[in-house]
Amino acid sequence: MKKIRSDFLTIFSAAIDAVGGESAVRREFESDNKNKIYPAQFHVVAIGKASDAMLQGIVATETPTNKKIKTALLISKHDHISEKMQNDPRVHSIESDHPLPKQDTINAGKLLLDYLKHLPEKEPCVFLISGGASALVEVLHDGWDLAQLQELTDYLLANGYNINQMNAIRRRISQIKGGGLWQFVGNRPVYCLMISDVPGDSPSDIGSGVLFPVDDIELPELPEEFSKKIPVFIQQKQAKGFVWKIIASLDVAKNAAAKKAIELGYKVDIQKEFLDGEAAAVAKNCVKTSQDKTDTLFIWGGETMVFLPENPGAGGRNQHLALSAAIAMQDSPKTVLLAAGTDGSDGVSDATGAIVDAETVKLGTSKNLNAEEYLTVSDSNTFLTATNDAIVTGATGTNVMDLVFAITKS
């Protein structure tokens, strides 16, 4: 099993490389030498967990005599901004909060509007948007404050609302989401490159679609304490000539993983199914699928959910899935599973996921750790760290949701 574990990490790394923010943006601007879509010089607004890497992708295509970036505003998660970007005099960098919005989220929203307000009129602006943007920056409608936003966000995350449902609500209470940012962009050419972290890669859902107006849709059911305060939907207008492109996605990562796995000698089955159910149930299905068809490496992608207890421990949906899988496969010595987030983080922990096999639960038991108990209190990271199964990569410079690999040898 050691070789499979090692191979899984190699395959995961190949997937990350294929959707890396720096490489994806660099490729886009290098290919533009022929197409000439983008202007020679422009301002940049980069928001998301991959925003630092994406901005570096533009910098990588510059030369001493060809400086593309005039000024830039970089908003990313705490500890996700590189020293290189912090030291670039053209870049104003802001560390903000994720996954839960806090005061830095509101501060970032004010600074974003101020930056746009003071840009020279009609000069072009390139937006670089990646996952996490929804929590990292916010400008609330009148009648909403940070405390109310936090209470609502806690409720949505704890009760399993999916990304589409959450975005439908976010657009109503935000002045910038759902295309609302056009109110502040001004009369200028606008371009947008995105790394998708949403099912179906809809641009209106990436970062809550700050530049993508949507039609009014029915709000999901909410407790009255929230629903009575949701503002009336206001349709936004998108500027003519707006140019946008998705440059990295979950499918790109899955295909890159499959390519590397084949190079390593595996028979591969890429699953079209999007994993979006409860993490423990998904884990059992993934284990069963791999056991029903041995000697095949299955590759899934998606974003599962966990219903949190009142006082959850450390961990996230990928480690919860992995630990659930470990329990399901504890009597199957030839099954291995990896579950990991492509952004390098997983809930409240420093890990991004885990690799497990039949030895995981046994090793935990030898350390007086009960896997079922840790799962019940959503403390998967503590267990998986103790068994040396947690995967720690640090920030990866991308975010295209999660990957799951599984194989059962005959």
Q: Where are the domains of the chain?
A: 2-12+251-408, 21-248
pLDDT of residue 138: 96
pLDDT of residue 346: 94
Identify the CATH class of 2-12+251-408. Answer: alpha beta
Q: Read off the pLDDT of residues 393-403 as tens digits, 9 standing for 90 and up.
A: 998 999 999 99
pLDDT, averaged across the chain = 94
Rounded to an integer, the average pLDDT of 199-217 is: 88
Q: Does pLDDT of 279 surpass 90?
A: yes
Q: Does pLDDT of 8 surpass 90?
A: yes
Please state, for a pLDDT cut of 70, what percent of the chain lies above it: 100
pLDDT of residue 232: 82
Rounded to an integer, the average pLDDT of 73-80 is: 94
Please state, for a pLDDT cut of 90, what percent of the chain lies above it: 80
| Better-predicted residue by pLDDT, 191 or 215 | 191
The pairing of beta strand 91-96 with beta strand 335-341: unpaired
Q: Does pLDDT of 35 surpass 80?
A: no
pLDDT of residue 192: 98
CA-wise closest residue to 50 among 108, 105, 131 = 131
Q: Does pLDDT of 100 surpass 90?
A: no
Predicted TM-score of the model (pTM): 0.88
| Better-predicted residue by pLDDT, 88 or 164 | 88
Q: Read off the pLDDT of residues 214-246 as tens digits, 9 standing for 90 and up.
A: 887 778 999 999 988 888 877 888 988 999 999
pLDDT of residue 218: 78
pLDDT of residue 160: 83
Rounded to an integer, the average pLDDT of 335-356 is: 95
Rounded to an integer, the average pLDDT of 52-56 is: 98
Q: Read off the pLDDT of residues 254-270 as tens digits, 9 standing for 90 and up.
A: 999 999 999 999 999 99
Q: Does pLDDT of 359 surpass 90?
A: yes
| Better-predicted residue by pLDDT, 311 or 73 | 73
Rounded to an integer, the average pLDDT of 156-184 is: 87
* Contacts of 305 by beta carbon, 8 Å cutoff, 6+ apart: 160, 162, 276, 277, 278, 279, 317
Q: Does pLDDT of 33 surpass 80?
A: no
Instruction: Check if CATH label 3.40.50.10180 holds for domain 21-248.
Output: yes
